[in-house]
Structure 1
Amino acid sequence: MELYPTQDGFLGEIAKGFTFAQVSRLAAGFGERARAEGIDQVVVAHDTRFLAKEMAEEAAGVLAGLGLKAFLLKGPVPLPLFAFTLGELEAAGFYLSASRKPARYQGVKLRLGPGKPLSGQEVPLPEKVPEARGNFQLLDRKRAYLEHLAGNAGQGATGKKGVVYLDTLGGAGGGLLPGVFGLLGLEAELRELHPLPHPLFYGVDPDPKPENLPTLLALMRAVEPPAVGLALDGDADRLAALLPGGEVLPPAEVLKALEEALEGKEVRGDGQGSYLFPWHLPEPDPFLAALLLLGKLL
């Protein structure tokens, strides 16, 4: 299987089309494109898939070897944190993730800046990759992102009681929402399901559809209100919401609830669980969506 260009990068099957050699080519081609655009900094990040960390280290070394100032985010990293860091540093981005695809796939999302996706068809792939590898800087911006997130969440969930189940499916979104609960002093009880990184996503596809959420569905069918169930995809840029009794809230209803919570501030939905808040980040953020929903659903 070969690498396939996507609207914002490439996709392939691990150990077939998506190999270390191909990652090196992708990084070299992207680095040259970034330099041609006058960009001198690039942030590399990765999800929880097999060998994602090691592939990210290889990409960061190639990019640094091209003379770019390369940062590797301490990971795994959800897409909103990656987007936040690009904005902070005004940098290009190289994010290893296959999002909702099954575990055997890996991909890369390319950004020429915050919210500036680069199609894979626009990236030259050199036949020969420079041998030099440069030094990159390990970066941890989780706390800064959490503070940004808490600052934009408002007070809608303050004082709300009940249980919040969050199924992260072993993806990159695990372990993040508890920190925001702490910063906001929320009283609702947060119970994370499958929060630890898992390259096989606990045996399901990392797509928050009902067929991939057996544990969350069982809990929500048995729980009494007030309670809400939430689920993320593999790179944490999509959100599903469930009500007591196991009812899955359609994306149109989620968007309506977000609009009511925001009272005029802009939110955009794509009908597939992605919610963008342009005043917050240039990429979708399911964590902000989750916090806003708690004020309406608990």
Structure 2
Amino acid sequence: MELYPTREGFLGELAKGITFREVARIAAGFGQRLLKEGKDQVVVGHDARFLAREMAEEAAGVLSGMGLKTHLLQGPAPFPLFGYALHAREAAGLYLTAGRKPPRFQGVKLRLEAGKPLPGEDLALPEAPPEARGGYIPLDLRKAYLDLLLRSAEGVPKERPGVVYLDAMGGAGGGLLGQAFKALGLKAELRELHSLPHPLFYGVDPDPRPENLKTLLALLKAAEPPALGFALDGDADRLAVYRVGGEAVGEEEVLKALREALGGLEVQGDGEGGFLFPWHLPEKDPYLAALLLLKVLL
């Protein structure tokens, strides 16, 4: 498969459509677009895929070499954290990920600003990447994002007991929900599965469908209520929900539960497990969705 455009950027197979040269070309084309629009600041992030960090560093070097103030998020960063960084810095963004695709794929998501994707077909790419590389600024906004998440999740019942499983699938999303549970002082116990980033996603595709969640579903089949299961995709912008017994909760029911938990505040679903809270962030946030669902489903 060659490099091809998507609604949010580009996608291809590693070493075929996606190479360091192609990532540099995408970064250069994106940088030219940003400069043309008068933007001067960009955030670069990446998921847990093979060579994602190195490719993100290459993209950051190209963007910085073009004169853009460039920040590089540290470590595999879940997509809501990337979205928060764009929002907080009023910056454009480039994020290395192939979402739910198998490990052999990689892609680039482009944002002109938080919540404003740039389709790949709308971006002109140079024939060859520029030679100049510049320095970038390491960026860590996990605490600031966590503070926002805690404020938005106000009202989650602290004393409600139960067990909550979260399968991060070896993607970029492990650890953050556990920090939120601890900071909120929740009595419910969070048990994380596959929380450490893994470039091969522990041997499955990072798509939270039942066939890829055998450990999570086995635990839920043996669990006693109250218990609940969550799963994230590779870049942690989607959430799948499972009941005791391993039954999947459909998106319409999840949306109904979220609306009940929010008491009038807006939530939108994209039909593919992504949930957007416009009053919280301009990007989808599965962590907030998970915390709010504890009010209704646990």
TM-score with structure 2 setting the length: 0.99
Rounded Cα–Cα distance in structure 2 between residues aligned with 1:245 and 1:118: 41
* Alignment match, 1:17: 17
* Alignment match, 2:153: 153
Q: Describe the superposition over 1:229-248 as per-residue Cα deviations: whole angstroms up to 9, x where unpaired.
A: 00000010111111111111
Alignment of 1:116-155 (within 5 A): 116-155=116-155
* Alignment match, 1:252: 252
Rounded Cα–Cα distance in structure 2 between residues aligned with 1:160 and 1:294: 9
* Alignment match, 1:97: 97
Name which of structure 1's ranges 124-133 and 110-119 shifts more when overlaid on structure 2. 124-133
Name which of structure 1's ranges 119-128 and 51-60 shifts more when overlaid on structure 2. 119-128
* Alignment match, 1:70: 70
Displacement of 1:157 in angstroms is 3.0
* Alignment match, 1:52: 52
Q: Which amino acid aligns with 1:212?
A: N
Q: Which amino acid aligns with 2:282?
A: P
Rounded Cα–Cα distance in structure 2 between residues aligned with 1:198 and 1:56: 17
* Alignment match, 1:228: 228
Q: Describe the superposition over 1:135-184 as per-residue Cα deviations: whole angstroms up to 9, x where unpaired.
A: 00000001100010001001123211111100000001011111111221
Rounded Cα–Cα distance in structure 2 between residues aligned with 1:270 and 1:43: 25
Rounded Cα–Cα distance in structure 1 between residues aligned with 2:102 and 2:227: 29
Displacement of 1:262 in angstroms is 0.3
Matched position secondary structure for 2:278: coil
* Alignment match, 1:29: 29
* Alignment match, 1:203: 203
Q: Give yes or no for contact 1:206–1:234 (8 Å, CA) kept in 2.
A: yes
Rounded Cα–Cα distance in structure 2 between residues aligned with 1:157 and 1:217: 25
* Alignment match, 1:175: 175
Q: Describe the superposition over 1:49-90 as per-residue Cα deviations: whole angstroms up to 9, x where unpaired.
A: 000000000000000000000000002011100000001110
Rounded Cα–Cα distance in structure 2 between residues aligned with 1:156 and 1:192: 19
* Alignment match, 1:275: 275
Q: Describe the superposition over 1:229-279 as per-residue Cα deviations: whole angstroms up to 9, x where unpaired.
A: 000000101111111111111111111100000010000112221111000
Give RMSD over aligned pairs: 0.7
Rounded Cα–Cα distance in structure 2 between residues aligned with 1:51 and 1:177: 25
TM-score with structure 1 setting the length: 0.99
Q: Which amino acid aligns with 1:134?
A: G
Rounded Cα–Cα distance in structure 1 between residues aligned with 2:131 and 2:263: 54
Structure 1 stretches (4+) deviating beyond 6 angstroms? Answer: none
Rounded Cα–Cα distance in structure 1 between residues aligned with 2:246 and 2:12: 34
Matched position secondary structure for 1:199: coil
Q: Give yes or no for contact 1:223–1:244 (8 Å, CA) kept in 2.
A: yes
Please list every run of 5 or more consecutive structure 2 residues that lacks an aligned counterpart in the other structure.
Answer: none
Q: Describe the superposition over 1:18-53 as per-residue Cα deviations: whole angstroms up to 9, x where unpaired.
A: 000001100000000011111000000000000000
Q: Give yes or no for contact 1:49–1:199 (8 Å, CA) kept in 2.
A: yes
Q: Give yes or no for contact 1:63–1:134 (8 Å, CA) kept in 2.
A: yes
Matched position secondary structure for 2:248: strand
Displacement of 1:128 in angstroms is 2.1
Q: Give yes or no for contact 1:147–1:183 (8 Å, CA) kept in 2.
A: no
Q: Give yes or no for contact 1:47–1:96 (8 Å, CA) kept in 2.
A: yes
Rounded Cα–Cα distance in structure 2 between residues aligned with 1:149 and 1:59: 29
Matched position secondary structure for 1:54: helix
